[in-house]
């Protein structure tokens, strides 16, 4: 009897440990996790990016936007369970929608629908002397930072 009770206690603890490792809102197996962007990511000519646009750029999980203040870049890795929204979701001028569990972010990366609770990280955007964009994914900046486009 004691052995059986001990077995059930161990089984219960294992079930709790497993459920604690599953992100809130996940009803099924863990989604495929994306890789955070890193290094210098080349983009198009700054003047070719339309005001009001938001779109993937380069091969990594990063998106580039432009509003009235200038250019900005954000990760496309969902803050809920790290799905790459470029692969599993949609990116449009109005924001990002994660296809894994339904989180939605506005065009500046703020959460507008969970289960995600944290905004998307922003990265430094540089304009080279030839007018092309470089995103420095190793340097995080505040979500209010913009790189003005002249010309
Ligand atoms: S990874 Fe769960 S909503 Fe994006």
Could you read off the pLDDT of 121-136 as tens digits, one per residue?
A: 999 999 999 999 999 9
**Range of 107's domain?**
28-141
Residue 19 lies in a domain: no
Smallest CA separation from ligand 1 atom 1, residue: 81
Q: Is the pLDDT of residue 55 over 60?
A: yes
CA 59/CA 129 separation, integer angstroms? 23
- How high is the pLDDT of residue 70? 98
Q: Mean pLDDT across the chain, nearest whole number? A: 86
Residue 105 lies in a domain: yes
10-32 pLDDT per residue, tens: 444 444 344 444 444 444 445 56
- How high is the pLDDT of residue 78? 98
- How high is the pLDDT of residue 17? 40
Residue 135 lies in a domain: yes
Residue 43 lies in a domain: yes
Residue 150 lies in a domain: no
What average pLDDT does range 57-64 have in this prediction? 95
Total number of domains in the chain: 1
Write down the residue that tokens 């339309």 correspond to.
50
90: part of which helix (H) or strand (E)? strand 89-92
- How high is the pLDDT of residue 83? 97
Measured from the Cα of 31, ligand 1's closest atom is 1
CATH label of the domain that carries residue 48: 2.102.10.10
- How high is the pLDDT of residue 4? 53
- pLDDT-derived band at 150, boundaries 50, 70, 90: confident
- How high is the pLDDT of residue 33? 82
Residue 45 lies in a domain: yes
- How high is the pLDDT of residue 133? 97
Which residue among 98, 104, 112, 119 is best mutated to probe the pocket of ligand 1, counting the most ligand atoms within 8 A of its Cβ?
98
87-113 pLDDT per residue, tens: 999 999 999 999 999 999 999 999 999
Q: From ligand 1's centre to the CA of 110, what distance in Å?
A: 14
CA distance to 56, 78, 102, 149, per residue, from 85 (Å): 10, 6, 10, 27
Residue 136 lies in a domain: yes
Residue 13 lies in a domain: no
Write the burial class of residue 84 (CB in 10 Å: 0-12 exposed, 13-18 middle, 19+ buried).
buried
Q: Is the pLDDT of residue 69 over 90?
A: yes
Q: From ligand 1's centre to the CA of 122, what distance in Å?
A: 18
CA 41/CA 55 separation, integer angstroms? 14
């Amino acid at each position: 009897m004691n052995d059986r009770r001990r077995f059930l206690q161990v089984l219960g603890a294992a079930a709790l440990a497993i459920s604690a490792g599953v992100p809130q809102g996940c009803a099924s197996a863990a989604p495929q996790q994306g890789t955070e962007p890193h290094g210098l990511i080349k983009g198009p000519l700054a003047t070719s990016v339309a005001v009001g646009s938001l779109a993937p750029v380069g091969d990594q999980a990063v998106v580039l936007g432009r509003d009235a203040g200038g250019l900005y870049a954000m990760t496309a890795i969902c803050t809920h369970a790290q799905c790459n929204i470029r692969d599993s979701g949609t990116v449009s001028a109005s924001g990002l929608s994660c296809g894994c569990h339904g989180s939605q972010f506005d065009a500046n990366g703020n959460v507008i629908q969970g289960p995600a609770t944290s905004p998307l990280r922003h990265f430094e955007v540089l304009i080279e002397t030839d007018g092309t964009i470089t995103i420095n994914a190793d340097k995080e900046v505040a979500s209010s930072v913009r790189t003005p486009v002249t010309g």
